[in-house]
Every structure is written in structure tokens, then in C-alpha cells.
Amino acid sequence: MQSAVAPVATFSRARVAAARAVATGALAAALAASLWLVLAASERPSVLAPPTIRAPHGWLLGPLSGLLPHLTSDPNRLHTDLVVALAVLLAAWLAAWLTAPALPVRAVAGAVAATQVVFLLGPPQPLTDFFNYIVYGRMAAHGINPYTHVPAAGAHDTAYALANWHHLPSPYGPLFTLASEPLSLVSLPVAFWIWKVVAVGSALGALALVWWLANRLGRSPQRALACVGLCPVVLAVGLGGFHNDAPAILCVLGAVACVLSRRDAAAGALAVAAAGIKPSFALVVPFVILGSQRRVAALAGAAAAGAAVLAVVGLAFDGALPAIGVQDRLVTPLSVPNLLGLLAGHGGADATFRAAGRVGLLAVVALACAAVAWRRRWWLPAIGVVLFAAVLSLSWVMPWYLAWSLPFAALARPRALAPLAVVACVWLGIGGLPQLPKLIHQLGYYPTHHATGLANHTYEQRLVH
């Protein structure tokens, strides 16, 4: 009998050792790929950090500048190297997600946190949203309503030169714009570092809540941390771009934690605060209320926070709301409405398919609300489903939007969101590649050769220039 048990025990120990080795290698690979991305973007003004080309400033490159002196300056090579680094991150993410439970939770948490902090030291990659935040905040601070006026109406300074939405009224939430006002009044380098600390700090706070929620829900905290903290599009484009999604996601996860702790009024208030930062998260509010043990208390908290947000809108912005409708007319090539418009012979996402995306999302929200009203225990996966559906419904979709639903792919049951998150990561990652225009041209798709595609392209250019 002992001779039969011994080989089984030996095999089990070998499997555990192999899982530990894979997990350790995956975490190391994710950290190394992230470090390369930051070092390469910091080396000199390049296509890896386009803002550094638009207005070259030493403070943009950060403290790691000059550590890769032999890095190629050829844009095509840099783009190829970027794809390789993202592919390494993708493989590391998947391997860590699968095998992280073989390591102590503090080891996984430390490695994931280090990977996040690395991006604090680099320039914005690859977009200019931070400078849009500053421009809109500066407009508000100087008495120009960013919801009724475009940045071209404000001061044409360094922040304006680094921003890109010169003819787009602000699509950001009123709480976020209000918070951006004091940030816009300090020098641009100081504001840049303050915001980087806020963005990365919010991401780390969200990971801490993911850890807590995983323990509370009986999930593997190692696996949850690896899933949320190492996703390549969220890391390289989301956190690396210092977008305002991180503070909003922190509020959403805080609302979830409050529901589980039976702090229902705080849960409702935090859900509304998330929407006040980024309006897309208004979708979460009904599910937080329906999932709370004391729905009346959650509704009261949401109503109080809603009243505060409306007061900000009325007093600070003369009742004007974020320009969501203006932004919703924008189109990216691989968005679901654009692909469906192509398949239907419309040449892309025209008004019909953009409207169909909105109607489809409303239908998903209505069905999910009915399901949660019937079975309260479905509230957590319902949030993940709705946020994932929101990404699918958008004609203008960015890679880091996967971060909205990723915590729920890690935490919710059933696990159906997990494989969808992997597919979405690849899809959104390809959609954000700098080589995408060349790739779609090789497939015979030229968006501007169709009336719809030309109209969409012209509309985008009008808002940028």
C-alpha cells in the first residue's frame, strides 16, 4: 500500500513544484516586460510615448531616461518590439492567472504591486488623456465651462499642445472635472507627477480591495490579483496612460466591499461617486442597490450622493452635462458596432449601428436588473456582465476599458467571464496596436473608401484639430 501511495505523493509534489516554477517565471516575465516598456518609453522622445514627440520636455521622460542608450530609434522596430513585449505580458498574465495559487499570497501581491509601480516612473503611454484632464480643469478654473466650450476656446499653452481633443467638450464626469481644477493651477510637471501618484495609487487601492474581496468571497486572492493586476492592455495602455478609470474602478470596488460588509448607504454613495468620475459607471448603481441587504438604505445613500453630484453640475457647470453624445459618435475600426456595420454592408458604424449598440446595452441592463431583483445573489456577476456588455456596445472603444469588468471576471461565479476576458484582451489589444491601420489595409479594408468610414474619420479629425 505504501509503495502505491509514495509515487502519488511524489507526483503531487512535482506538480506543486512545477506550478510554483511557472508562477514565479510568469511574475518575473510580467515585471521584466513592464520594466522594458517603461525604460524604452523613457529613453528618448519616440513613438512609444507620443506626447514626448508632440512637445519634447525632459520632465515628461521621467527619472529613468537614458538607461537604454543602445535602444533603436527606428519607429518600425520600436513598434515591433512593443508587440513582442505585449505578447510576453499576455503569456505571463495567462500563466500567472492559472498558477499563482501555488505561491504565497504576499509574494504574488508584492510582484503585482511592483509591476504597477514601475509605470509610475515613466512617461504616458501611448495617449494624451492626462493633458486633456488638465486642459478641461484649467478651463473650469478660469471660468470657461468645459461642457459647453471646447479646449480651443481656452489658453493655448503647453498642456494644450500635449492634449488632442481640441474641439471636444469634456466627456468626463463632473466630480472628476471639479477635482482637476486645483491640479490645473500648479505647474504642469508638478501636476503630472501628482496625477501619476493618484492614478497608480488608485490602481493599488483597487488591487487591495480585490485581495479583500477574494478572501471574503472564498476565491483565490493570488489568482484574483494576477488576473486584475497583470492584464497587458490594462497595464501597458491603461495604467501606463494614467487614465481616470482607476479612481472610478476604486469607487466601484469600494461599493462592492460595502455591500458585502452591509454598509449599504455607503455602497450606494460610492457607486454614484464612480459615475460622477466616469459616467459609464452609472450602469453599476442599480445593481449595487439591488444587491444590498437594505435596499432602502442603499437607495438613500445613492440619492444623497446623486444630489451632491447634481449640486456640482448646477453650481460649478451651470447645469451642463458631460458631452457623452458627442464622444459616442466616434468610431474605432475593431469596435463591435463598426464590425457589424461592415458585415451588414453599411461601411461601418453609422447612426443605425451606434443606436443598436445603445439599445442592446439597455436590454442587457434591463434583463440583468430583473434577474437580480429575482435572485439577489446574482448581483455581483451581473455587474461584470453589464460592464462587459458596455464595452461591446461602444463604437469608440479603448483597450483599457477591459479594466471595467476584469475584477468581476476574477471574483464572480460562474466563471464564464474569465474566457471572455481573455478574448477581449486579445481583441482590444489588437485594436490598440499602432500597426492596426497597415494590418486592416492588408486585409483589403480601407475605412475611408466607404461613405460611412469617411464620415467617421472626418468627424474624428474635426474634434482633434
Tens-digit pLDDT profile for residues 54-95? 877 788 998 999 899 999 999 999 999 999 999 999 999 999
Distance separating alpha carbons of residues 415 and 349, to the nearest angstrom:
31
**Which of the four pLDDT bands, split at 50, 70 and 90, describes residue 107?**
very high
**Which of the four pLDDT bands, split at 50, 70 and 90, describes residue 11?**
low
Cβ neighbors of 315 (< 8 A, separation 6 or more) are none
Please answer whether residues 287 and 255 qualify as being in contact, where contact means their C-beta atoms are separated by less than 8 angstroms.
Answer: no
Tens-digit pLDDT profile for residues 402-438? 999 999 999 988 788 999 999 999 999 999 988 898 8
Q: Which of 50-64, 179-193, 216-230, 257-271 has the lowest mean pLDDT?
A: 50-64
Instruction: Give me Rg for the CA atoms of the chain.
Output: 23
Nearest to 348 by CA among 257, 264, 450: 450
Cell of 131: 493633458
Distance separating alpha carbons of residues 406 and 193, to the nearest angstrom:
27
Rounded average pLDDT over 184-207: 95
Q: How many CA atoms lie within 13 A of 448 on its CB side?
A: 6
Rounded average pLDDT over 279-301: 96
Rounded average pLDDT over 330-347: 94
Burial 165-198 (b: 16+ CB within 10 A, else e): bbebbbbbbbbbbbbbbebbeeebeebbeebbeb
| Mean pLDDT, all residues of the chain | 93
pLDDT at 225 over 90: yes
Q: Which of 32-41, 246-255, 342-351, 409-418 has the lowest mean pLDDT?
A: 409-418
Angle, vertex CA 430, rays to CA 166 and CA 227, nearest 5: 100
Cβ neighbors of 152 (< 8 A, separation 6 or more) are 166, 167
pLDDT at 155 over 60: yes
Rounded average pLDDT over 302-317: 97
Tens-digit pLDDT profile for residues 452-462? 999 999 999 99
Tens-digit pLDDT profile for residues 359-387? 999 999 999 999 999 999 999 999 999 99
- pLDDT reported for residue 1: 43
Distance separating alpha carbons of residues 379 and 288, to the nearest angstrom:
7
pLDDT at 5 over 80: no
Distance separating alpha carbons of residues 294 and 400, to the nearest angstrom:
33
With H, G, I as helix, E, B as strand and everything else as coil, classify residue 445: coil
pLDDT at 6 over 80: no
Cell of 145: 465651462
Distance separating alpha carbons of residues 31 and 49, to the nearest angstrom:
19
- pLDDT reported for residue 10: 61
Please answer whether residues 101 and 220 qualify as being in contact, where contact means their C-beta atoms are separated by less than 8 angstroms.
Answer: yes
Please answer whether residues 394 and 335 qualify as being in contact, where contact means their C-beta atoms are separated by less than 8 angstroms.
Answer: yes
Cell of 412: 464572480
pLDDT at 121 over 80: yes
With H, G, I as helix, E, B as strand and everything else as coil, classify residue 253: helix
Please answer whether residues 385 and 367 qualify as being in contact, where contact means their C-beta atoms are separated by less than 8 angstroms.
Answer: no
**Which of the four pLDDT bands, split at 50, 70 and 90, describes residue 9?**
low
**Which of the four pLDDT bands, split at 50, 70 and 90, describes residue 116?**
very high
Tens-digit pLDDT profile for residues 25-43? 999 999 999 999 999 999 9
